[in-house]
Amino acid sequence: MLLGLCLYYMFIAGSEPWSEANFKRWLSCDSTDELKAQTSATLYLYSHVTKFLNENTCMPYDDTDPAQTNMFNGPLFATVLATWIICFICICNGVKSSSYAVMLTVPVPFVLLFLLMAYYIGLNNGVDGKGVQFYFGGQSFPSGVNEKDRTMSVLLIDSFNQVFYSISVCVGVMFAYGSYNPIRKPVIQDAVVMAVLDFFFSILAGFITWGVIGYLFAKSNPAFTQTSSVGLAFVAFPTAATLDGSKGWFGLFCFFMFIAGIDSAFSYIEAFNTNIVDATGCARWKAALGTCILGIVLSLPFTTNFGWTLFDLTEHYVSGYIIILVGFLQCVAVAWFFEYDSTAMVSENHRKSLKVLSLCYWVPLVIVAFYANFAFPEQKFVGIVVIFITSLLALFFSFKASDMKFNSWYHEIVLCGVDKVSMSITSLSNPNA
């Protein structure tokens, strides 16, 4: 959906249909002061692109009213369809075809990143904007502006979403691509390189976003208050393009977003296809074709007037909760279940120590976390302190129950599973091992 929006805006960037000069506001959008304050770029996104707003009321469609018919945006669906076709081309032959695709999708975003940084930082500096100062905290962002979106919990969740999506962890992508590696591939080195490059890419990309925010703030345009990814990309940036007359740069920015995200998109599909091929033995291109056709069908509702609500719910729960939960469960599986039975069979002390550690750690953790979040949300820091103390007690009781030397207990009990996995990876990553 987001990649389809990038293509959609890239194709219409030259005509600027969202500008005040070109956009014809509905009469219903001037019925209240709150609606009058909405910028033309905001109304264009939610009325003409996503069909989220009802022309008669300038409010979201009521899905309980049978008189309100479904609206469908054909051009938006066409760009979503084009995205799926591109993904199919990239993965139809597995890593053979995707390896050619990444020759474009890896270096080009970095080139465009530095070009866009130079332009948008210059745009910000040209009007004495404070975007870079806002970015690094040298200047406080205006108080009262979307403060609920700038709380630590919201920022942490958004950060996790960004990192998990850009690196494609916790969705099976690394397992799928990793299965093609030679047995002694230096995966630890590769993991560090990917994480560091992604970190620097994200930090540098922030200069582009804050350059636009600083420019709009200096121009006293209300679009600078946009905080969501969609609002920044398709309200703030188009507004800046209209004010500065930089239609070409905004089109380049849309292409930058598309090509930076398309490799993550087809990697997700490839992870799904790998499981199908391994389980059924069907031809890879057939699995890719079936997956992409299914994706196209599932994308149809997202291009209707009720699709934006569906998209918001899907993004919120899948990105904000499910993927993070999957990552958490993967850590639990490796740290608490892998090699648990074999370690417990070594001796009675091993079994008793593992059992004590599990009970004394998880029972207080679940109980304290529940009450800290729901019964006493204002005193969460107390819950963190209690969990820290109970964790130390769990380690102490487990050590005493093991009747082992500290070094043996630490590796065989505390790092049960984790120690063996890390040592195996390290050994395989070392060609001289």
Boundary (domain end) residue, out of 264, 284, 316: 316
pLDDT band of 5, cuts 50, 70, 90:
very high
Length of the chain: 433
Q: The pTM is what?
A: 0.82
Averaged pLDDT for residues 396-415: 91
Residue-wise pLDDT for 336-379, tens only, equals: 888 888 889 999 999 999 999 999 999 999 999 888 878 777 77
Examine the domain organization and report whether 377 and 304 are in the same domain: no
Judge whether 90 and 266 are in contact, CB under 8 Å.
Answer: yes
Domain span at residue 99 reads 2-316
Could you give phi then psi for residue 384, rounded to 5 degrees? Answer: -65, -45
| Cβ contacts of 59-65, under 8 Å, gap ≥ 24 | 60/309, 61/305, 61/306, 63/306, 63/309
Residue-wise pLDDT for 124-146, tens only, equals: 888 888 888 888 877 777 755 55
Cα separations in angstroms, 23 against 47, 233, 347: 11, 18, 76
What is the reported pLDDT for 324? 79
Cα separations in angstroms, 234 against 18, 45, 309: 10, 7, 17
Examine the domain organization and report whether 311 and 369 are in the same domain: no
Q: Which two tokens stand for residue 400?
A: 């005493």
What residue type is 254 in one-letter code? C
Q: Which residue has the tokens 């970190």?
A: 199
Is residue 253 included in any domain, yes or no? yes
* Residue 415: half-sphere exposure toward Cβ, Cα within 13 Å: 12
Number of separate domains in the chain: 2
Examine the domain organization and report whether 310 and 411 are in the same domain: no
Is residue 126 included in any domain, yes or no? yes
Examine the domain organization and report whether 375 and 284 are in the same domain: no
Averaged pLDDT for residues 62-89: 81
What is the reported pLDDT for 21? 85
Helix runs in 106-186, H state only: 107-126, 131-136, 152-167, 173-178
Averaged pLDDT for residues 277-284: 88
Q: Which residue has the tokens 């469960």?
A: 329
Is residue 324 included in any domain, yes or no? no
What is the reported pLDDT for 194? 86
Judge whether 236 and 259 are in contact, CB under 8 Å.
Answer: no
Examine the domain organization and report whether 30 and 178 are in the same domain: yes
Could you give phi then psi for residue 72, rounded to 5 degrees? Answer: -130, 135
What is the reported pLDDT for 268? 86
